[in-house]
Amino acid sequence: MSDWDWHSAWPAPAKLNLFLHVVGRRDDGYHLLQTVFRFVDRGDVLRFSPRADGEVALATPLPGVSPESDLTVRAARLLQAETGCRDGVTISLEKRLPMGGGLGGGSSDAATVLLALNHLWRLGLPRERLQAIGLALGADVPIFVYGRNAFAEGVGEAFTPVALPPAWYVVLEPPVQVPTAEIFRSPALVRDTPAVAARDWRPGVGGNDLEPVAAGLYPAVAEHIGWLSAFGRARMTGSGACVFAEFAERPAAEAVLAQLPAGMRGWLAAGLPQHPLAAL
């Protein structure tokens, strides 16, 4: 019997891309990627309240985002449409992750909505079906439904689970939002990095092909990478803007964070062995 119910606070953790390569492009324009997703113990929090009128409402609209385009509302409505469910819900979102940061915040929120409402509405859909529904919402949604740290391929939807060692991450938030589409449109983006087999990947292998483009367009990203590089291998996650460095021990990460210059925003996160809802 699950402990998750209508009174629960439902986690939507951030992800880091430990590497991110663009290995090709499909005829339809979608880029073919290889990456390793790692969940960390910082994220947004969602709460749900049942409604008898069948409506989906967002109690906490985000500034500049209409409820109709909010990923949490879209996820709930798509789940209704896919299953014929007539139950309604009011969604409350405590936003802790920055928008446009490359941490997967909106995608993680949408995945938690799918997982939570599948459970709360007693729909009984398998994760594979929820992953397919999630892919219609965004390329990063399926990994959060999948629930395990993974080597991902294709457009980011084909997963091979990976066991990652415990680690601590210093994550910096440059004060910019980086639109993913802008990075992928850039003629400067490398699109032919040689592919690697999932079984051959090891921690520390690979870079982020999107990083030079984002750093060139947004000097704040380059500045934050430059500062963090003095303490370890600094790299960007996703299409940016956030950057991170990995440390084997918490005290080493804390020592770096203690030196953060005034005006820079950063935090510490532990790597997770799996998504908090992996066993749901």
Position 46: which residue type? L
Enter the pTM of the model: 0.96
Helix/strand number for the chain, H first, E second:
8, 10
Angle, vertex CA 110, rays to CA 108 and CA 113, nearest 5: 110
Check if the beta carbon of residue 116 is closer than 8 Å to that of residue 91: no
Active site residue 3: no
Q: Which domains does the chain have, with CATH numbers?
A: 10-161 (3.30.230.10), 168-270 (3.30.70.890)
The pairing of beta strand 56-58 with beta strand 88-94: parallel
pLDDT digits (tens, 9 = 90+) for 166-209: 999 999 999 999 999 999 999 999 999 999 999 999 999 999 99
| Catalytic residue of the set 95, 140, 192, 200 | 140
pLDDT at 134 > cutoff 70? yes
Please state the rounded mean pLDDT for residues 152-171. Answer: 93
φ, ψ (nearest 5 deg) of residue 48:
-130, 140
The pairing of beta strand 168-172 with beta strand 266-270: antiparallel
* Integer angstrom CA distances of residue 84 from 40, 88, 116, 121, 249: 34, 12, 17, 11, 49
C-alpha span between 127 and 140 (Å, rounded): 15
Check if the beta carbon of residue 45 is closer than 8 Å to that of residue 94: yes
Active site residue 140: yes
C-alpha span between 191 and 41 (Å, rounded): 32
The pairing of beta strand 31-51 with beta strand 150-153: antiparallel
C-alpha span between 13 and 121 (Å, rounded): 22
pLDDT digits (tens, 9 = 90+) for 33-85: 999 999 999 999 999 999 999 999 999 998 888 888 999 999 999 999 999 99
* Integer angstrom CA distances of residue 255 from 46, 166, 169, 200: 32, 18, 12, 33
pLDDT at 146 > cutoff 70? yes
C-alpha span between 17 and 40 (Å, rounded): 11
| pLDDT > 90 in the chain, percent | 91
Check if the beta carbon of residue 272 is closer than 8 Å to that of residue 278: no
User: In whole numbers, what is the pLDDT of the chain averaged over residues?
Assistant: 96
Check if the beta carbon of residue 146 is closer than 8 Å to that of residue 159: yes
C-alpha span between 111 and 43 (Å, rounded): 13
Cis bond leading into 52, ω under 30°?
Answer: no
C-alpha span between 12 and 31 (Å, rounded): 26
| pLDDT > 70 in the chain, percent | 100
| Catalytic residue of the set 15, 44, 70, 87 | 15
| Residue tagged 């802008």 (tokens) | 182
C-alpha span between 223 and 67 (Å, rounded): 34
Burial 28-59 (b: 16+ CB within 10 A, else e): eeebbbbbbbbbbebbbbbbbeeeeeeebbbe
